[in-house]
């Protein structure tokens, strides 16, 4: 039996670019959870897609530009099915549903870029969304970029995740690591990042070595505690199944049968990145994440992540996922902030090129 059915009254308004779509839902209890308290989910959907949504009884009508109305309808149907199967719906899952409705129709860019441009097998549309199953629940992608990234994490031995904050680069990498550890596919998890201060000088830090490096590694601890109970994290760290260490401690090691993650890799030097990548041993996976717009290295020092992407773009077996502002899954303002900075950076680069062209033309005269 269909859980939802589209009403026969799918109308085209006077403006052919606008449509009114009507959905009918059979379970009023699920419908109440779908729309949220005081219809707040519908209000959020209206603001996000610039459509008008009206609810009468067990019917919801969506009016707006055809693409946005279709997206709203697909999101509502997806969320209703989620509720029917025992899932939960909140603002974050609503926003994820809106992003994911365009996953299979987006042919402008591959979410997973193999060898820089992607190979034919990776570009084939996969109608099944990847899901990570860990003991605390299932983790699903919340954007097209995340879907491609999760497929790469499951299939490839070396994966680069590059993009702005809030895209889930580190979180999903840790989730894949935990899933593989629990499944027995790897024997341990090794989490690392360079100890570089983000534009500040913290000075002397008290305590032993662990106390000194913990502030730099806190995001990795946070992700771990989201995946595993706190006592299990501590127990696995005590036995060596989970190791969290600064990048400097990686030199000279061969990391075998391990899932290794290097976070904040934009703050590595070229030598550090080469050293880290060559630690990969038999039966291991390696993930490198970073944001090339937030490099905290001293002026004039080339980022090891930037150099690695340029150097390794044509190496077989390496997957590179490039996230965009549309993949940000934090507060919607984060995506807008990222877009604003990207626009400003692009404008500054254009002005610099224009100035140099003018200077060159003046010199030629």
Asked if the model's pLDDT at residue 118 lies above 80, the reply is no
Residue 352 in any domain: the answer is: no
Other CB atoms within 10 A of residue 240 CB? 10
Domain of residue 243, CATH code: 3.40.50.300
pLDDT of residue 195: 73
Radius of gyration of the chain from its Cα atoms, rounded to whole angstroms: 24
Q: Which of 16-20, 61-65, 163-167 has the lowest mean pLDDT?
A: 16-20
Residue 45 in any domain: the answer is: yes
- Nearest CA-CA partner of 141 in 105, 103, 107: 103
Q: Which of 12-21, 92-101, 123-132, 159-168 has the lowest mean pLDDT?
A: 123-132
Alpha helices, H only, the chain: 28-35, 40-49, 66-84, 91-100, 120-123, 144-155, 169-183, 209-227, 230-239, 270-277, 304-312, 332-364
Most confident segment among 121-135, 250-264, 348-362: 250-264
Band the pLDDT of 207: cuts 50, 70, 90: low
Domain of residue 72, CATH code: 3.30.1370.10
Q: Specify whether 172 is located in the same domain as 305.
A: yes
- Expressed as residue numbers, the domain containing 67 is 17-100
Q: Specify whether 162 is located in the same domain as 183.
A: yes
pLDDT of residue 152: 94
Q: Specify whether 36 is located in the same domain as 166.
A: no
Residue 356 in any domain: the answer is: no
Q: Please, which residues have CB within 8 angstroms of residue 66's CB and are 6 or more apart in sequence?
A: 17, 18, 19
Band the pLDDT of 126: cuts 50, 70, 90: very low
289 vs 204 pLDDT, higher one: 289
Q: Specify whether 87 is located in the same domain as 193.
A: no
pLDDT of residue 241: 95
Residue 193 in any domain: the answer is: yes
Cα–Cα dist 300/298, whole Å: 6
Please tell me what DSSP assigns to residue 280.
B
Q: Specify whether 281 is located in the same domain as 326.
A: yes
User: Tens of pLDDT along 81-112?
Assistant: 888 888 888 887 887 788 777 654 443 444 44
Residue 210 has φ and ψ, to the nearest 5°, of: -60, -45
- What is the average per-residue pLDDT within 202-216? 61
Percent of the chain surpassing pLDDT 90:
30
Cα–Cα dist 2/297, whole Å: 56
Q: Specify whether 251 is located in the same domain as 144.
A: yes
Would you say 116 and 320 are in contact if contact means Cβ atoms under 8 Å apart? yes
Coil, strand, or helix at residue 220? helix
User: Tens of pLDDT along 42-55?
Assistant: 988 888 888 899 99
Q: Specify whether 39 is located in the same domain as 149.
A: no
Asked if the model's pLDDT at residue 16 lies above 70, the reply is no
Cα–Cα dist 56/87, whole Å: 24
Q: Provide the domain count of the chain.
A: 2
CA distances from 119 to 38, 113, 144, 243, 299 (A): 48, 8, 18, 34, 36
**Is the pTM here over 0.85, yes or no?**
no
Cα–Cα dist 45/93, whole Å: 11
Most confident segment among 169-183, 210-224, 324-338: 169-183
Q: Specify whether 121 is located in the same domain as 249.
A: yes
- What is the average per-residue pLDDT within 232-245? 91
Among 76, 100, 124, the domain-final residue is 100
Q: Specify whether 33 is located in the same domain as 171.
A: no
Residue 291 in any domain: the answer is: yes
pLDDT of residue 109: 43
Q: Specify whether 130 is located in the same domain as 65.
A: no
CA distances from 176 to 78, 150, 365 (A): 25, 8, 60
Asked if the model's pLDDT at residue 199 lies above 60, the reply is no
Band the pLDDT of 8: cuts 50, 70, 90: very low
Asked if the model's pLDDT at residue 334 lies above 90, the reply is no
Q: Specify whether 41 is located in the same domain as 146.
A: no
Residue 345 in any domain: the answer is: no
pLDDT of residue 331: 65
Q: Specify whether 150 is located in the same domain as 235.
A: yes
- Nearest CA-CA partner of 312 in 162, 173, 169: 162
Residue 8 in any domain: the answer is: no
Asked if the model's pLDDT at residue 321 lies above 60, the reply is yes
Write the burial class of residue 249 (CB in 10 Å: 0-12 exposed, 13-18 middle, 19+ buried).
middle
Asked if the model's pLDDT at residue 5 lies above 60, the reply is no
Q: Please, which residues have CB within 8 angstroms of residue 108's CB and are 6 or more apart in sequence?
A: none
Residue 39 in any domain: the answer is: yes
């Amino acid at each position: 039996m269909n859980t939802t059915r589209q009403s026969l009254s799918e109308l085209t308004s006077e403006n052919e670019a606008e449509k009114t779509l009507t959905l009918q839902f059979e379970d009023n209890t699920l419908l109440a959870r779908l729309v949220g308290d005081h219809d707040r989910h519908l209000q959020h959907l209206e603001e996000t897609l610039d459509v008008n949504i009206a609810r009468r009884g067990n019917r919801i009508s969506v009016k707006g530009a055809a693409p946005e109305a279709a997206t709203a309808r697909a999101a509502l149907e997806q969320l209703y099915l989620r509720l029917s199967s025992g899932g939960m719906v909140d603002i974050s899952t609503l926003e994820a549903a809106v992003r994911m409705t365009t996953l299979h129709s987006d042919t402008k860019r591959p979410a997973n870029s193999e060898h820089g441009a992607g190979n034919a097998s990776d570009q084939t549309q996969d109608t099944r969304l990847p899901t990570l199953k860990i003991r605390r629940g299932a983790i699903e992608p919340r954007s097209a970029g995340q879907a491609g990234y999760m497929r790469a994490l499951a299939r490839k031995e070396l994966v680069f995740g590059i993009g702005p904050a809030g895209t889930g680069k580190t979180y999903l990498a840790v989730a894949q690591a935990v899933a593989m550890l629990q499944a027995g596919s790897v024997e341990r998890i090794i989490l690392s990042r360079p100890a570089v201060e983000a534009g500040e000088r913290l000075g002397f830090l008290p305590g032993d070595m662990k106390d000194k490096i913990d502030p730099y590694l806190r995001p990795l601890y946070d992700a771990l505690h989201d995946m595993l109970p706190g006592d299990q994290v501590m127990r696995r760290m005590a036995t060596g199944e989970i190791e969290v260490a600064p990048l400097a401690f990686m030199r000279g090691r061969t990391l075998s049968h391990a899932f290794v993650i290097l976070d904040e890799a934009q703050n590595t030097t070229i030598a550090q990145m080469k050293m880290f990548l060559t630690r990969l041993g038999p039966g291991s996976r390696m993930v490198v994440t970073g944001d090339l717009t937030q490099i905290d290295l001293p002026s004039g020092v080339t980022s090891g992540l930037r150099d690695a992407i340029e150097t390794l773009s044509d190496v077989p077996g390496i997957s590179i996922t490039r996230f965009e502002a549309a993949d940000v899954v934090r507060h919607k303002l984060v995506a807008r902030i990222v877009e604003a900075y990207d626009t400003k950076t692009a404008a500054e680069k254009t002005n610099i090129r224009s100035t140099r062209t003018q200077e060159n033309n003046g010199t030629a005269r």
